Structure 1
Amino acid sequence: MALKNKLVPNKLTTLIMVIIVAGMSQGMLLPLLTILLDRSGVSTDANGLNAAALYIGIFSTMFFIEKPVRRFGYKPVIIVGMGLIITATCLFPAWQQVGFWFALRLLVGVGDSALHYATQLWIVTSSPKEHRGRNISLYGMAYGMGFSLGPIGITLLKAGIWVPFLTTSSFFLCVLLLLTKLPNERPERGERVEAVHKRATKVAAIAWFPLITSLLYGYMEASMNSNFPLYGLRIGLSEPNIGVLLPVIGVGSLIMQLPLGIWSDRIGRKKILIASGLIGALAFLCIPFVGANVWWIGVLFGIAGGMVGSFFSLGLAYAADILPKHLLPTANVLASIQYSVGSIAGPLIGGIAIRYSNVASIFYMLSLIYVIFALSGLMFRRENSV
């Protein structure tokens, strides 16, 4: 029975490929749809609201996704999630209307949330204890890699509006064929434990500082992918340049993820998070001062992404250090919810700020919130759990 439940290489490889393609899809859709709506004359705040629809779909799904996974298993839920994303992606170029796209983005969010929840849980429950951390790291790196590659799809617009959408859908269909070959599995049923709200209250009281990282990561990721195209167009950057610059944040995160993790093991996660937040804040603050210089923006994006692009994983690792083991699943759910809240807030706040303040305000706000985060870390006192 134990052998049956182990994560064999083919399963891990297939699930990692699913996550790479899902990251590519999300990384492409956010900036691509923002650019297309801006072309059609949609205001920046309405554009930001439309972008937030994806994260509203992700957030709402977290409240009901556990039951279908327990009832039907991992594979059917992932397949349904992929089906929703493929359907919505193919429909985007069919009718470029704001309300229609809002509904499609909600659909993508639901599919994306179902796909990620089931895939992450499948990897965690199927991995042997001695390889669980490594496999989850691979999951995070796979998503980051896909998300970084996604904005390159903007360059496909030159071949026609349908091309980027159909290209992404074809990648999904390829991994879907591989996924159908895996045997289905279901999560094990555990013993009855205390009420969810009590566990959530305990987690928030003990690990509020580590969990803020998921909120900030969601805000930064969604804000950059939804609002930076608007910023870039207004300062004179071309669409291909925007498509090339956006992945640099993800590349910086991929490069620094392992070093930051190793350093956090040696000198403490709180110190690394505070230092990373301050350096990231400085990098974001400097971006408006380099104008439309693509190289300097790229350098600053790489620094910022390298410093704060690992916030989600470092925050969960820090939470695992200080929380009792039985509260870790609840911490993961809270982190996912906070990520969704940040992702919804990012495009909305950024779009409003660009319209009613100035175009550089998105970077000033990012810098400010990371400085506030670092200062709050100085007040956080919690000993590691035994």
Structure 2
Amino acid sequence: MRIWRVAGILFLIGAEALLYGYSYPFFSLALEKRELANWLIGLNASLAGIGILFVGPFLPKVIDRLGIGRLVALLFAIPFLSFGAILAFDHVGVWFAARFVMGTCFSAVWTTTEIWLNGAVDDRSRGRIIAGSGTLYAICQFVGPLALGLTGVTGSLPLVVAMVPLAVGAIVSMLIPSTEVEADTTLDEHGLEGAGNFRIAIAFAGSLMLVAFMSGIGETAMQSLLPLYGLAHGLSDAAASRLVATFSLGEAVLVLGLGWLADRHGRRIVLIGATLIATVTTALLPVAMGRPLLLEPALFLAGGTIAGVYTLGIVLIGQDFRGQRLAIVSTGFGMAYSAGSVIGATPIGYLIDLFGAEALPVAVAAGFLALLVFLARPRAKRAVPDSP
């Protein structure tokens, strides 16, 4: 039974990743066709992550009351209806409202399936399965922009294509047994719910919250604004979407390797190394544009290391926490990532309007440089075991 539960959860993670990789360039390019300013396109991307900041603190309690399977099914069904609303009412206001709703659901299903998977696997295989889920996520995310290249960004076809995996995901969610995870994530009666959850998550795993926050800034800004970066350098829509695909391909290949290195050589040194590579490769993009032999490896390494930093955090959470704390810290991690997504995309889009396209790689590299300085600082003794 456990193997089928894990396989089903991995399927849902893959479906959500496919939609993530598909929807970010889709919304950016489709809104660019409407001649919206870059900061508005960045705002649209920010709306995709802001909702989890409001619903995230209550996810553990909702999981307990609805059941994790029914909740995930609902989180797939609502974006299905949101894409349908865009299809029925092609208005900019609907595009923004639907992006907020479906972004909230995508962020919540992302966090919830991570809780589900961490509660379903055993300690012996946790690292391999979590890293494998990261690779699966990256592969499906890589397919998303390629699918967009086939469907285009205008007309009803890209919307209909996005609705298919949402419908399938809702059905699969209802078929997966979820009793064990619900038992693990049931809240106690000591106030570990609501807005206080994020403060508890910071107390348990403060440095991991910062890792999630910076990963959110880097990954969301790159995923949503790389197509615009490519267009600014004279690329076609399809070629601009392939920049995101190459970025995502790095996740598919490198995440497993980073997990293996962390098991062999220690999580702190691997986390610092991944952050360093993310900083350097992102900073190289202005030099690499127009030089495919340099651009492709730089995007590949940047995507793999940014995703690897996030994945290492998830492994650490599953390793160090169980039951209520697993749900609370996982939710806090997702909220920190989403906060980074919200803070990152809109200001960076505005910086692009002010200073040009090169503001994207420069701003992201600066953020990871700051994280690198934080991680490389001398460590004081900590009361909790999860800090890297």
Q: Provide the TM-score with structure 2 as the length reference.
A: 0.87
Partner in structure 2 of residue 69 of structure 1:
63
Shift of residue 60, structure 1, vs aligned partner? 2.0
**Gaps in structure 1 of 5+ consecutive residues:** 1-6
C-alpha contact 1:57 1:108 (8 A) present in aligned 2: no
Q: Which moved more, 1:47-56 or 1:284-293?
A: 284-293
Is 2:91 aligned against 1:97? yes
Distance 1:218 1:319 in 2: 17
Q: Secondary structure at the match of 1:310?
A: helix
Is 2:346 aligned against 1:352? no
Partner in structure 2 of residue 261 of structure 1:
259
Partner in structure 1 of residue 228 of structure 2:
230
Distance 1:280 1:318 in 2: 20
C-alpha contact 2:24 2:224 (8 A) present in aligned 1: yes
Is 2:22 aligned against 1:28? yes
Partner in structure 2 of residue 333 of structure 1:
331
Q: Which moved more, 1:244-253 or 1:137-146?
A: 137-146
**Gaps in structure 2 of 5+ consecutive residues:** none
Is 2:149 aligned against 1:151? no
C-alpha contact 1:324 1:385 (8 A) present in aligned 2: no
Distance 2:33 2:265 in 1: 48
C-alpha contact 1:241 1:294 (8 A) present in aligned 2: no
Q: Secondary structure at the match of 1:63?
A: helix
Which amino acid is the alignment partner of residue 272 of structure 2?
I
Q: What do the CA deviations read for 1:284-337 (whole angstroms, capped 9, x no partner)?
A: 111112333445322210111222221112134456778899855443222111
Which amino acid is the alignment partner of residue 262 of structure 2?
S
Q: Secondary structure at the match of 1:379?
A: coil
Distance 1:73 1:20 in 2: 21
Distance 2:173 2:197 in 1: 34
Matches within 5 A, 1:106-255: 106-158=100-152, 161-183=155-177, 185=179, 187-188=182-183, 189=186, 191-193=188-190, 195=192, 201=199, 204=202, 207-255=205-253
Q: Secondary structure at the match of 2:182?
A: coil
C-alpha contact 1:50 1:98 (8 A) present in aligned 2: no
Partner in structure 1 of residue 50 of structure 2:
56
Q: Secondary structure at the match of 1:161?
A: coil
**Compared CA separation, residues 345 and 72, structure 1 to 2 (3 A):** same
Is 2:294 aligned against 1:296? yes
**Compared CA separation, residues 310 and 159, structure 1 to 2 (3 A):** closer
C-alpha contact 2:141 2:245 (8 A) present in aligned 1: yes
Distance 1:329 1:10 in 2: 22
Which amino acid is the alignment partner of residue 344 of structure 1?
V
**Compared CA separation, residues 182 and 206, structure 1 to 2 (3 A):** closer
Shift of residue 24, structure 1, vs aligned partner? 0.9
Aligned residues: 380
Q: What do the CA deviations read for 1:22-61 (whole angstroms, capped 9, x no partner)?
A: 1111111111111111111100111111111110123322
Identity %: 21
Q: What do the CA deviations read for 1:229-286 (whole angstroms, capped 9, x no partner)?
A: 1111111011111222212222212212122222223332222222222222111111
Cα RMSD, aligned residues only: 2.8
**Compared CA separation, residues 58 and 144, structure 1 to 2 (3 A):** farther
Which amino acid is the alignment partner of residue 331 of structure 1?
V
Which amino acid is the alignment partner of residue 231 of structure 1?
Y
C-alpha contact 1:273 1:311 (8 A) present in aligned 2: yes
Distance 1:157 1:241 in 2: 14
Matches within 5 A, 1:10-29: 10-29=4-23
C-alpha contact 2:111 2:331 (8 A) present in aligned 1: no
Q: Secondary structure at the match of 2:376?
A: helix
Q: Provide the TM-score with structure 1 as the length reference.
A: 0.88
Q: Which moved more, 1:72-81 or 1:143-152?
A: 143-152
Distance 1:73 1:44 in 2: 40
Q: What do the CA deviations read for 1:208-238 (whole angstroms, capped 9, x no partner)?
A: 3333221121111110121111111111011
Q: Which moved more, 1:320-329 or 1:119-128?
A: 320-329
C-alpha contact 1:156 1:163 (8 A) present in aligned 2: no
Which amino acid is the alignment partner of residue 38 of structure 1?
E
C-alpha contact 2:15 2:165 (8 A) present in aligned 1: yes
Q: Which has the higher contact order (CA 8 A, sep 6+)?
A: 2
C-alpha contact 2:216 2:338 (8 A) present in aligned 1: yes
C-alpha contact 2:50 2:100 (8 A) present in aligned 1: yes
C-alpha contact 2:197 2:332 (8 A) present in aligned 1: no
**Compared CA separation, residues 93 and 326, structure 1 to 2 (3 A):** closer
Distance 2:363 2:61 in 1: 38
Q: What do the CA deviations read for 1:162-209 (whole angstroms, capped 9, x no partner)?
A: 222212211232343444433453612354456568875565357433
Distance 2:376 2:324 in 1: 27
Partner in structure 2 of residue 285 of structure 1:
283
